[in-house]
Structure 1
Amino acid sequence: MKIAKILSFMGIMAMTAVLIYGFTKGDFFEDGGELMKNPWGIVSLVDLYVGFTLFSIWMALREKNIPVLILWIAAVMILGFFAASVYVFINLMTSRGDILRFFLGDRKEEILLKERSGERGADHERKR
């Protein structure tokens, strides 16, 4: 998990640098308009927001606190992978090396309990 912490921290630093660069050297609305005129600009934005949405689904699966979840999703949709890198870094630090805690968050015990009790298998069988 040390490598993941380093990579997420590098993501924070890289995104901080490029956000500062973009806001100081570019015109958000003018450049955004140019991006929307380019077919590959549209493809890139759709790709980006599909990624944001998938990342948000993972956050929703691991977060129990709905107001906190809403704030994080808003941050990701507005600040992009800067916010996602911060979210990953914080959760890597607070999981203390527990990979299941990192991926499942506050729902770890709930999910493991269901797994152990066979609920997941029973639910899976009912869906068939």
Structure 2
Amino acid sequence: MRGSLMKNVRLFAWIGAVVMAAMIVFSLLTGDFAAEGSILMGMVWGQMSLVDLYVGFLLFYLWIWYREKSPIAKFVWFIVLMTTGSLATALYILYVSYQSKTKEEFFFGKNA
């Protein structure tokens, strides 16, 4: 798909993917997931933040579910999204932006 809109979408998705991948690697190498996660889950705002994130992931997944025809693709993207979060969001946006020929196909997939 051509045009400045898609160039901007791809630019922001690439930036998001690189930043998220770098932060995931950094966090895995330097943090203590269990100990720090336990502290966060011990706080009301830590719980609220997690609920907020996963509601957002599920809402984004509705778009994936609508666009994708294959049950396997739907399942794989669900697992990837729930485990890598915004990294998966950026990767999916990149995937569909390079796959789509029109704005309608970008948003609606084969339903366009």
RMSD, aligned CA? 0.8
Q: Residue 24 of structure 2 corresponds to which residue in structure 1?
A: 19
Gaps of 5+ in 1: 109-128
1:99 aligns with 2:73: no
Q: Residue 115 of structure 1 corresponds to which residue in structure 2?
A: none
User: Residues of 1 paired with 2:14 and 2:77: CA distance?
Assistant: 17
Bigger relative CO (Cα 8 Å, ≥ 6 apart): 2
User: Residues of 2 paired with 1:106 and 1:43: CA distance?
Assistant: 36
1:2 aligns with 2:11: no
Shift of 1:84: 1.2
User: Highest CA radius of gyration, 1 or 2?
Assistant: 1
| Structure 1 counterpart of 2:92, one-letter code | Y
Asked if the contact 1:11/1:85 (under 8 Å) is kept, the reply is yes
Matches within 5 A, 1:36-75: 36-75=41-80
Q: Residue 34 of structure 1 corresponds to which residue in structure 2?
A: 39
Compute the TM-score of the two structures, normalised by the length of structure 2.
0.92
Gaps of 5+ in 2: 1-5
Q: Percent identity?
A: 35
For residue 44 of structure 1, give the secondary structure of its aligned residue in structure 2: helix
Moved over 6 A (4+): none
Compute the TM-score of the two structures, normalised by the length of structure 1.
0.81
